[in-house]
Amino acid sequence: MEQIPAALKIIDLVRSISRTLKRPLDWLRLLVFRLGNRLKPSMDRDTAMAIAFATLGGSVIAAIPYRDLGNPHRLIGAIRKPHDKTWVHRIYILEQFGQSWRVKWESEDLYEHLNLKAFSLHDVDNDGMSEISFAFSSFGTGGGGETVYLHVPAKEQTYSASIGRFWADPTSPPMAEIRVHPAGKAEQVYMRAIETICDQLGLTAPVPRVDLDDPRYAVLRWHKENGQITHGEVKIHLYEGTPFDQSTIVAEIEDGDLVWTSHFKNAVYGYIRSQDKHFVVYSPSIAWSWAGCLLATTNYLWIGTRGDGLLRFDKDKHFLFQFKQIQGNELHEVRSFEKEGDFFIINGKLRVPAVLLEEEWPGMDEILRRFGGGEPPPTL
């Protein structure tokens, strides 16, 4: 019976030695595996492309051959489209099966623009099993972004980081929005790998110092101080020089010492020539409601928008008034606004007496006090 504790001690000693040796042995095994791959690659990329096409058909964009530690079969990572005239892509992992090949894994359809620079193999966790990265971008008139993916076959999990920019919303912050998936569940080693890929692709940037006295942030400041106002008193801020706006000017009028300009999918500005200063008059809450036409009269600047109806800006009081309906006509988009004698002509056909639109509304101060800037003003 005394021999049993001695035997158990020997077993514990063997286990301890095995644990001690396991790490260097695993490291040595991984080193030999990687060295073997360098000395004798799985195959060249042209052969991988040919195998991928023969296996998948359609239009194969790229193919990368590789091996995984502990897997006797060769592998290929591939990008394929059903045909050349589509933007729909899928990512595939092909595995050798005897003399043939089979699909081991495939992604969902990706309806976006491919970024080939991101298609690569990694071993971020140093286990000898490759992870595959890929990236796609999607941009429209209102915004867009790029998503970087890292598929980890060993975990049957795809991690991703999406970097989005929303220029249709003038109130959006200067920094791009970043979302990761799965949120809060991804192992740090994989998310760090995605961070590195995003940096290499130039998708991340240092945080800008936002100085609201800088004319580059004039629109951001206007929304900070006025919200999404379409009627009510407007707080303005004077900036040096002409408007710092790189979008196309769609309407420009001279009004004595003032020059009024409207910019494509952006704000309406006033420029004071004698002072060489400018300010934001109005900025739509969504870019598609930009002002397409302007008209200046003695007391007012008239702003015809593509979604917010007709706006009247009091040049002395800095007060916006919104007309969404006139004489039973809904005013959603105002494409043109002109004055002929004692009448205003809206959208080339609606004639409205000028006095009707220029009239100071009785009791308007009381209406605004009661309903605030968020309630619609009376319609005509």
For the stretch 293-334, pLDDT in tens is 999 999 999 999 998 999 999 999 999 999 988 878 888 899
Identify the pLDDT of residue 362: 42
Beta carbons of 109 and 90 less than 8 angstroms apart: yes
| pLDDT band, residue 376 (cuts 50/70/90) | very low
Q: What is the rounded average pLDDT of the residues 345-351?
A: 92
Identify the pLDDT of residue 378: 42
- Chain mean position to CA 36: 43
Q: How many CB atoms within 10 Å of residue 106? A: 14
Supply the CATH classification number for the domain 215-371: 2.40.128
% pLDDT > 90, the chain: 57
Identify the pLDDT of residue 10: 56
Q: What mean pLDDT, rounded, does the chain reach?
A: 85
Identify the pLDDT of residue 301: 97
Ranges 5-9, 141-145, 162-166, 276-280: which has the least confidence: 5-9
Q: Any idea where the domains of the chain sit in the sequence?
A: 45-200, 215-371
Identify the pLDDT of residue 379: 44
The residue among 171 and 208 whose pLDDT is bigger is 208
The residue among 169 and 1 whose pLDDT is bigger is 169
Q: What is the pLDDT of residues 60-114, one digit of tens each?
A: 999 999 999 888 999 999 999 999 999 899 999 999 999 999 999 999 999 888 9
The residue among 35 and 329 whose pLDDT is bigger is 329
Does residue 368 surpass a pLDDT of 60? no
Q: What is the pTM of this model?
A: 0.72
| pLDDT band, residue 32 (cuts 50/70/90) | low
| pLDDT band, residue 12 (cuts 50/70/90) | low
| pLDDT band, residue 3 (cuts 50/70/90) | low
Q: What is the pLDDT of residues 259-282, one digit of tens each?
A: 999 999 899 999 999 999 999 999
